[in-house]
Amino acid sequence: MKKVYAKEEYCVGCRLCEVHCVVAHSKYPNDIIKAFKKDTNRPLPRVIVEEERPVSFALQCRHCDYAYCTKACITGAMRKDPVTGIVTNDEERCVGCWTCILACPFGAIKRDESGHKVASKCDLCSQTALTPACVEHCPNGALLFEERDN
Ligand code: SF4
Ligand code: SF4
């Protein structure tokens, strides 16, 4: 399956990938101003820029073949689509117990406690776009969306 891969040598730590991830998952996916000024329940970014100068790179869910988060989830909210391989969290079913966070070896899930507690993670923008927003908007080509053998 196609996944997002970081090229850390091109990442300048601008965090635009985080910004556009928020926009893409907000109530105003096509309007960055409204997404930040009007969406009172703005989502967390699902991509996380790690930075230890001079190195930075954007981390997100690896959509693992054996997804520990789905095995650990106590409600069945976290699931891997058997056809696409994309791992998503059904926020209606998620009870915010954070078991998936403990199970994920990549630190790719965040706690969203802004309302009903939910585990927040990358969905590859699969509901809205062909290319994830972080990849689409990185100004330096530091994120690639492609299929690899590994
Ligand atoms: S948008 Fe690109 S350059 Fe900027 S932090 Fe994200 S990956 Fe790095
Ligand atoms: S959330 Fe973590 S364990 Fe689950 S598929 Fe993504 S990287 Fe793998």
Q: What is the mean pLDDT of residues 103-113?
A: 97
Residues 22-77 have pLDDT tens digits of 999 999 999 999 999 999 989 999 999 999 989 999 999 999 999 999 999 999 99
- Nearest protein Cα to ligand 1, atom 6: 17
pLDDT, residue 150, reads: 64
Percentage of the chain with pLDDT > 70?
99
pLDDT at 115 over 90: no
Instruction: Give the pLDDT band (50/70/90) at residue 129.
Output: confident
Average pLDDT, the chain: 96
Sorted by sequence, the CB contacts under 8 Å of residue 90 that are 6+ apart come out as 76, 77, 78, 79
Q: Output the pLDDT for position 149.
A: 83
**61 Cα to the center of ligand 2, angstroms:** 5
CA-nearest of 46, 88, 61 to 3 is 61
In this prediction, residues 5-33 reach a mean pLDDT of 97
Counting from 1 in the atom list of ligand 1, the atom nearest the Cα of 56 is 8
9 CA from centroid of ligand 1 (Å) = 10
Closest Cα to atom 2, ligand 2: which residue? Answer: 104
Q: Please, which residues bridge with residue 143 across strands? A: 6
| Global pTM exceeds 0.85 | yes
Q: Using alpha carbons, select from 83, 94, 81, 86 the residue that is nearest to residue 62.
A: 86
Mean pLDDT (whole number) for 123-143: 94
CA–centroid distance, residue 67 to ligand 1 (Å): 26
Handedness of CA 26, 134, 20, 44 (dihedral sign): positive
* Mean pLDDT across 132-138: 97
From the CA of 110, which ligand is nearest? 2
User: Looking at residue 128, what is its pLDDT?
Assistant: 82
Percent of the chain scored above 90 by pLDDT?
A: 91
